[in-house]
Amino acid sequence: MRLLSPIKDHHLERRLFIGRAIFCAVLSVLLLSLVIARLVQLQVFDHELFAEKSQGNRVRIEAVAPIRGLVFDRKGRVIAENLPAYQLELIPEQVDDIDDTLQRLAALNLIESDDIERFKELSRTGQQFKPVTLKFRLSDAEIANFAIQRPRFPGVDFQPRLVRHYPHGQLFSHAVGYVGALNTADVQRLDSGRYAGTSHTGKTGVEASKEDNLHGDAGFRHLITNARGRQVPADSSELLESLPIDENASPGANIYLSLDLDVQKAAFDALAGRRGAVVALDPTNGEILALVSAPSFDPNLFAVGMSNAQYGELRNNPDRPLFNRAVLGTYPPGSTIKPMLSLAALETGATNLTRKTICRGYFQLEGNEHRYRDWKPEGHGPVDLHDAIAQSCDVYFYELSGDLGIDNMHEYLTRFGLGSATGIDLIGERGGIVPSREWKRNNFSDRDNQRWYNGETVIASIGQGFMLATPLQLAVATGALATRGERFQPHMVAAVEDAITGARSITQPKSIANVDIRNEFYWQYVLEAMHDVMQGPRGTARAVGMGAPYEMAGKSGTAQVISIAQDDEYDEDELEERLRDHALFISFAPLDDPKIVVAVIVENGSSGSGVAAPIAKAVMDQYLGFGDATGQ
């Protein structure tokens, strides 16, 4: 009988179990040894390396925006400054329902409803722990209103910041300009290192042209953050002490302008309610004393941010308040060029001091029935060059134009600076046009249009036709008249001051090519005629200049906006206001020692002597110290 084998071999199983247990124990000891060895390496041998890396993960470098430099007038009065203000900010990760929160803020009139979508987009696309600025400057009433409602708005609060402020509002908006929020083009154009932490940059005027000086250099500071990148309080002084030293931002330089606050205000007030521009300068060094374009706007709106509706109202205004007429507006100079053409005619022999013309109120080219009319329908009678300037006789210059010729006109007018940018320290200045035969050939493609016609020379002699100039160019040209040919490049920046040391870099006058007239008496003759414009018995602006406590010189001008048929008669008072002639006036004073030049353009002002001349005199009165005496 065969023996049955046992179902289990307990001895074999025990040996197998003991072997496996020993293997697992040895493996565990080996693995634990590796872990211990690695921990020893990390915590002992590599402690410094990883401690430094750990600290780096906790520390974030944050840019510190520099304080923007201040802007002063020539007497040290503040024109642009930085004021502390409270901004309304939203931290997206702390707000459960951003849309509802924004809607409720709009209901409290703390933000504009039109801006809600933009704020929602900024909240979605930015880092959730970084604040989104909803309003750059809160009024005291808005702060009080929100403070009461704050518990209803978790994640929304107001924070102190510095914002640009223009204490004189509209007064310097085109000269000094304004700062605005950085856009995509600005970010691509500007140095990212210098502009780290900066939200605004100069957009127009001196704020833009001197941006490099005004902005300063960014600094940085170290912040302790958690794993999600949010700032947390430092948990040990040792950590703070181990951080690199923060680098302070370098403030921007202060700018001193040649503008005079009182003269600027006199020009601004005199233009009130009109469209136009005034430029006043010192003819002995080119310093701009006043630069006004009207209507104007409040630059503070751009500095603190405006709603789409507010910007649309400015942009779509038919009076174009954002347009700087003083340096960008080009207008026919009208009769203001007659003193310059008189010097050209005397110098070239096209006329002389005794030549007289019988002014019957119109002029005709030989063989042509078209009548070129004088501003005085009945005519001036017999006039010489002096009378033609003082009384602004168009017929004299119509007749003179044939002898002088368009190319001589072009040569001498460009010597006075007309037809090209002056080089003022502002961005975007426009040049004018002083036509010539060559200019017409280069600017027209059709052969018939390239030909220069005698009639075009006739109307060019009174500053019409193709001729265009900016108010600034007229002021510079008048400065050359006042100094008898000596010319200086116009500038507004008088000095740049280091905000820390106080050291100033003074802008030196820059001489440019003089207007050379061989016979000095010609200067005296023409300037005396300009003096009689304002203070002579038959001058066109004698009603403005008579009785003034100083001697002055000037020249009125008008520029047609629409063409009038030859035989038509019209009353400007019956025309729509925007179809009336532009009014111009150039002037300087005192006559024998010129200290100020003023050029004025009033769009659709009709009369240079009646509308523009009083504005020029108000500006000269203020600068020369007679403002109180004249009621300005």
Active site residues: 335
Contacts of 293 (CB under 8 A, 6+ apart): 174, 276, 277, 323, 324, 325, 326, 329
CA distance 203 to 207: 7
490: number of Cβ within 10 Å: 30
375: number of Cβ within 10 Å: 20
Q: Report the phi/psi class of residue 315: left, alpha or beta, with left for phi > 0 and alpha for psi in -120 to 50.
A: alpha
DSSP 446: S
Backbone φ and ψ of 156, nearest 5°: -120, 135
CA distance 200 to 177: 13
Residue tagged 């929602």 (tokens): 120
SS3 for 62? strand
Amino acid letter at 198?
T
Specify the pairing of strand 276-281 against strand 596-602: antiparallel
CA distance 523 to 480: 11
DSSP 210: T
CA distance 303 to 305: 6
Contacts of 16 (CB under 8 A, 6+ apart): none
CA distance 197 to 195: 6
SS3 for 60? strand
Structure tokens at 471: 């108010």
Contacts of 106 (CB under 8 A, 6+ apart): 112, 113, 116
625-to-491, 543, 621 alpha-carbon distances in Å? 23, 21, 6
- Rg for the chain (alpha carbons), in Å? 37
Q: For the purposes of burial, counting CB atoms within 10 Å of the CB of 143, is it exposed (0-12), middle (13-18) or buried (19 or more)?
A: middle
CB 558 within 8 A of CB 620: no
DSSP output for 289-343: EEEEEES---THHHHH---HHHHHHHHT-TT-TTS-HHHH--B--GGGGHHHHHH
Nearest CA to 628 out of 565, 552, 549 is that of 549
* Structure-derived torsion over alpha carbons of residues 447, 453, 455, 461, reported in degrees to the nearest 10: 110
